Homo-oligomer: A and B are copies of this chain.
Amino acid sequence: MAELKGFLMPRSPEGRASIVPEPPWHYSGDVLTIEYRTDPANVAALLPEGVEPADEDAGAVAIIWADWQSCSDSGEELLDPVRSQYKECFVVVRCKHGDDHYSRCVYIWVDKDFALARGWYQGYPKKLGSMWMTRPVAVGKAGPRLARGGRFGATLQANDRRLAEVTLTLTGPSDTGGFVNALPMLHSRWMPAIDPAAPDALAELVTMRSQDLELGPAWTGEPTVHLFDAPGEELASLEPKELIAGYWRQVGATFAGGTTVE
Could you tell me which A residues sit within 8 Å of B by CB distance?
1-4, 7-14, 16-17, 19, 22-23, 26-29, 44-49, 68-71, 75-76, 78-85, 106-108, 112-113, 116, 120-123, 125-128, 130, 132-135, 137-144, 151-155, 157, 159-162, 165, 167, 188-197, 201-202, 204, 206, 208, 212, 214-216, 231-235, 237, 250-254, 256-260
- Report yes or no: B16 in contact with A259, Cβ–Cβ below 8 A: no
A21 CB to nearest B CB, Å: 9
* Complex-state Cα separation, A144 to B28, whole angstroms: 10
- Report yes or no: A232 in contact with B83, Cβ–Cβ below 8 A: yes
- Report yes or no: A251 in contact with B160, Cβ–Cβ below 8 A: no
Chain B residue nearest to A257 (CB atoms) is: B196
Chain B residue nearest to A109 (CB atoms) is: B113
**A to B CB contacts below 8 Å, 22 in the list:** A1-B49, A7-B192, A9-B123, A9-B126, A14-B237, A16-B231, A17-B107, A17-B232, A28-B142, A69-B135, A71-B142, A78-B142, A78-B151, A79-B152, A81-B134, A112-B128, A139-B216, A161-B161, A161-B162, A194-B206, A195-B260, A202-B202
Copies of this polypeptide in the complex: 4
Chain B residue nearest to A237 (CB atoms) is: B13
B contact residues around A137 at 8 Å (CB) = 28-29, 69, 250, 252
* Complex-state Cα separation, A75 to B53, whole angstroms: 36
B contact residues around A165 at 8 Å (CB) = 80
- Report yes or no: A257 in contact with B195, Cβ–Cβ below 8 A: yes
- Report yes or no: A28 in contact with B202, Cβ–Cβ below 8 A: no
- Report yes or no: A78 in contact with B14, Cβ–Cβ below 8 A: no
Partner of A83, one of B121, B231, B235: B231
Partner of A16, one of B11, B202, B232: B232
- Report yes or no: B16 in contact with A141, Cβ–Cβ below 8 A: no
Chain B residue nearest to A71 (CB atoms) is: B142
Please list the 3 inter-chain residue pairs (A to B) with the smallest Cβ-Cβ separation, ordered nearest first. A140-B252, A10-B125, A28-B140
A24 CB to nearest B CB, Å: 9
- Report yes or no: B83 in contact with A192, Cβ–Cβ below 8 A: no
A153 CB to nearest B CB, Å: 3
- Report yes or no: B130 in contact with A260, Cβ–Cβ below 8 A: no
- Report yes or no: B197 in contact with A140, Cβ–Cβ below 8 A: no
A230 CB to nearest B CB, Å: 9
A26-B142, A116-B116 given; name 15 further pairs at CB < 8 Å: A1-B49, A10-B106, A17-B107, A19-B127, A27-B140, A27-B142, A69-B135, A75-B141, A78-B151, A79-B153, A80-B132, A82-B155, A84-B134, A140-B252, A195-B260
